[in-house]
Structure 1
């Protein structure tokens, strides 16, 4: 099992004060948190899609972004093996993100770095050495986004119903704060790009 949110190898504890669910491609190779993994531990994350907040809607609403043809997406990532003296070991990963004009409106232009299967193999083999080279090889298939239940952020909920489309205008706010402060979420919990 891999934990989402890379734990830097040098970290003394598995919980870090850093948001490491994603890593910005432009800075990953030189970032203190991600540089070691960039050099030695690229990974590919296969996904059916990902969640992103529609910030133009009031209150903001979660959307699920997927390929229009329903096929899996391959995203670039970095992973790390973390271990402490007591023998505790955790493998963790981050998704690489970059500006991407192919992401459907009304979403922001940042999203995972997607690529084809052949480019994924090059990435895993270490043949793509710079963020610029990876960005140049990235390809994003046609994507679509649709609203999903706000409960997607609840760790106790992990089932297929979180992928079902909903009508945001027909939903009841899940928290009192949803009705008055925008979304009731901390901005650090923003979306996939953290």
Structure 2
């Protein structure tokens, strides 16, 4: 079922992309422009686009911070969304950095090169932090703490973890004939995440 969903999603996206590109080229051809003319080719234009995007991102990030502070002071659930927007970018950056380790293997000899170390690390790390935050929320047990924890879980951990990439990697292993690796990768991801998450959550409660 997951494999079929991926195939349907990819084929639908490709069809939509080709349809939109064809429609745009057809409409813009009369005006003498196309998608190729909209590409940034020079270094100067790259810098300008980067500056504009950074300024836009800074504005939206600052706006999220102001709105999160306002909603949090009022102890409304709307603060969860704005906190999520505020702490989401660091999760994206860490996820992007960890993705570099995919295909590198372990050690100098690069053992287990087939194992996506970056994706695995991101998901296990997110599960552990999720459990730790749940423990903190349970111990503090205040509305303000619950909102902050939910915002961090929604934004930071939502951007750090990735189910879609995990499923795509498992499906790619399966499609390439490495069924054993697909099962092993699934187990290596789910079992440690479940075990560590439960230990982090329950051990502080058991030792009280």
Shorter-chain TM band:
under 0.3
Q: In proportion to residue count, which structure has more helix?
A: 2
Which of the pair has the greater relative contact order for Cα pairs under 8 Å at 6+ separation? 1
Judging by fraction of residues, say which structure has more strand. 1
TM score, norm. by length of structure 2: 0.20
Bigger Rg over Cα? 2
